[in-house]
Structure 1
Amino acid sequence: MERNLNDVMLGSLELFCLAAELQSFTAAAQAAGLNPAAVSRSVARLEVRLGVRLFVRSTRRIHLTDSGRTYYDHCRQALSLMRDAEAKLTGAQTAPSGLLRISMASPYGHCRVLPLLPKFRLRYPLVQFELNLSNRNVDFTAEDFDLAIRGRTPPDSTLIARKLEDAELVLVASPDYLARAGVPRSLDDLSRHDCLQFVLPSTGQFVSWQFRVDGREVDLATPPSYRCVEDYLGMVTLARQGAGLLQTYRYIVQEDLASGRLQELLPAFGGRSRAFSLIYPNREHTALRVRALIEFLIEELAHGPVSAER
């Protein structure tokens, strides 16, 4: 078989991937124990070999070109395959390792995922995390994320979705607000109350409130007295301070309900939920650290949140 890659070229591929991940030749050189000129020369050799520019260079940072991004995605998978193959043969890798980049919706991250990560790292201490908490859908290719967790699955056939749990919705308000504005007794009463609404970053639309009436699923548009953009948890703060009614996830407010800080409303029309899922690229090879986190989160979250009484 013809040998197309020698040891020098394989080293150049590793340095190229390191520079792409750190967005700096200097940082890549420090991580590899080399000088920046050596990293720059390695990347230059690749660019000559390929006949394309891999990076756009500036005085402070470097950024992958479109060709560089495509090449990086393939090189990263190839090097990961080689490391896993070597580990399987030598038995060297007994645990997942490396950097995991995850994007997740901020309330789900704060309440459900972040509390679990220290437990995961106790099991797999060689894994590091880079966490993005936002309510937007990320671009896996352009932004180089390994996983995302979302309450709505993007309509993208190149992504895999694995459900974590069904998060129950609940309508709440503070006792102070209810003493001032009255307790709603029916869905029709909601239009006469101050309502707190979240604006979806992807569409700019409000999220309809969801109820169940005589076994039928009903979505209700409520007029917002307050609207929150980007930060979903801002609505919870407003509800706690007596600003109005809020439909949110039970896992966010379960401690408020247990303490009486918030009160559940119209439970006879409740029971609706939204599924939260792990989203990740459909690739031939998924890194061991990614597979380990997927199975860990499914195992931990499958039974839903543990209530304060348990």
Structure 2
Amino acid sequence: MSRRFDDLMLGSLELFCLAAELESFTAAAQAAGLSPAAVSRSVARLETRMGVRLFVRTTRRIHLTDGGRAYYEQCRQALSLMRDAESQLTGEQQAPAGVLRLSVASPYGHYRVLPLLPRFRARFPKVRIELHLSNRNIDFTGEGFDLAIRGRAPPDSGLIARKLEDAELVLVAAPSYLARAGKPDSLEALAAHECIQFVLPSTGQPVPWLFSRDGQNIELETPVSYSCADDYMGMVTLARHGAGLLQTYRYIVQDDLNLGHLQQLLPEAGGRSRPISLLYPDRRHTPLRVRAFIDFLTAELAPKVGTTHAP
């Protein structure tokens, strides 16, 4: 196999990534023990090789072009894999280290994952966590994520899914709303109520509410008086202030239920849940920092379930 990258080019890739992360040739030069001119020449060498601009340069700072951003994500992953392979082969990496990029659905992040991260960092202080709170599906390769946590697995057979829990759903409303509109006494009665819905980013459609009746599972589309996109917690704020009925995860509103700020409705039709899963690419060499986080999180949260491929 002919060589495509000599030592000089590999060094240029490392300096390019360093400059992208620090948004400064000068800062990258200081970190690498080189002159700013040497870093600038390395980046210029890459731009000449590919015939594209990687950075927009101003007098105060630099920032990546769209093409530069895509190239950076790929280079960052490639260099990370090279470092991990070297560490595994030589046995020099005694503890997990490096950057862990984690994407978490926002409510699960706030209520389940974020409270655990200081404990993980205390155990593995050489791991730096880059956290992305979002409810949309992500592109692991294109966006450079190591792990994701979602209530719905994306249609990617190249991902492994490890269930963390079955999160129970509850129907709730504020006492102020119930005093105004009355309590629904059946699933059919929901059609006459104000309902708060979350719009799923992947489809742009409201998420159906899940119930059970006479041993049968039911998906119910209710009236949409309020719809929330992106920020899941906006729905909970609306419900707390008497906007209407909301079906949400029990772990989010349990304190509100205990304090009487919200009341559970139609418990006889409840008991439904959605699986929350940890997702990651199926690859031969999983970085040590990723394996450490998977083991930590599943020990903290997961029931005793098996590992499966995402559908």
Match of 1:183 in 2: 183
User: Secondary structure of the equivalent of 1:156?
Assistant: coil
1:107-186 equivalences under 5 Å are 107-186=107-186
Q: 1:113-168 deviations in whole A, cap 9, x for unaligned?
A: 10010010011011112212122222333332222211111112343332222111
Paired letter, 1:63: L
Q: Is the 8 A contact 2:99 2:127 kept in 1?
A: yes
- Tell me which amino acid in the other structure corresponds to 2:14: E
Q: CA deviation at 1:78?
A: 4.8
What's the CA shift string for 1:217-264, capped at 9, x where partnerless? 111111122222221111111111222111000110111112222111
CA–CA distance in structure 2, aligned partners of residues 70 and 284 of structure 1: 23
Q: Structure 1's 72 and 173: CA in aligned 2 closer, same or farther, altered over 3 A?
A: closer
Letter in 2 for 1:13: L
Amino acid at match of 2:62: R
Change (3 A) 1:158 1:22: farther
Range that drifts further, 154-163 or 52-61: 52-61
The range that moved more, 220-229 or 176-185, is 176-185
Instruction: Quote the Cα distance in structure 1 between the aligned partners of 2:69 and 2:237.
Output: 44
Letter in 2 for 1:255: D
Give the match for residue 308 of structure 1. Answer: none
State whether residues 77 and 285 of structure 1, in contact with CA within 8 Å, keep that contact through their aligned partners in structure 2.
Answer: no
Identity fraction in percent: 69
CA distance in 2, matches of 1:167, 1:187: 21
Matches within 5 A, 1:289-300: 289-300=289-300
Unpaired runs of 5+ in structure 1?
A: 305-310
Alpha-carbon distance in 1 for matches of 2:46, 2:206: 49
1:1-310 aligned at under 5 Å gives the runs 7-22=7-22, 24-46=24-46, 51-53=50-52, 55-59=54-58, 60-63=61-64, 69=70, 73=74, 75-88=75-88, 91-303=91-303
Structure 2 alignment gaps of length 5 or more = 305-311
**What does residue 307 of structure 1 align with?**
none
Mapped partners of 1:10, 1:161: distance in 2: 34
Residue type at the aligned position of 1:236: V
Q: Distance in 2 between matches of 1:63 and 1:161?
A: 33
Distance 1:63 1:136, change over 3 A: same
TM-score normalized by structure 2?
0.85
Cα offset for 1:291? 1.8
Cα RMSD of the aligned pairs, angstroms, is 2.8
**Contact 1:199/1:228 (CA < 8 Å) preserved in 2?**
yes
Preserved contact between residue 100 and residue 290 of structure 1 (Cα < 8 Å) = yes
Residue aligned with 1:224, SS: coil
CA separation of 1:286 and 1:69: change in aligned 2, threshold 3 A: farther
Q: How many residue pairs align between the two structures?
A: 302
**TM-score w.r.t. structure 1 length?**
0.85
Contact 2:17 2:72 (8 Å CA) reproduced: no
- Contact conserved, 2:195 with 2:225, CA < 8 A, in 1? yes
Amino acid of the structure 2 residue aligned with 1:182: G
Q: Distance in 1 between matches of 2:76 and 2:260?
A: 51
CA distance in 1 between counterparts of 2:81 and 2:228 reads 44
Cα separation, 1, equivalents of 2:170 and 2:84: 45
Which residue identity is paired with 1:55? L
Deviation at 1:63, TM superposition (A): 2.7
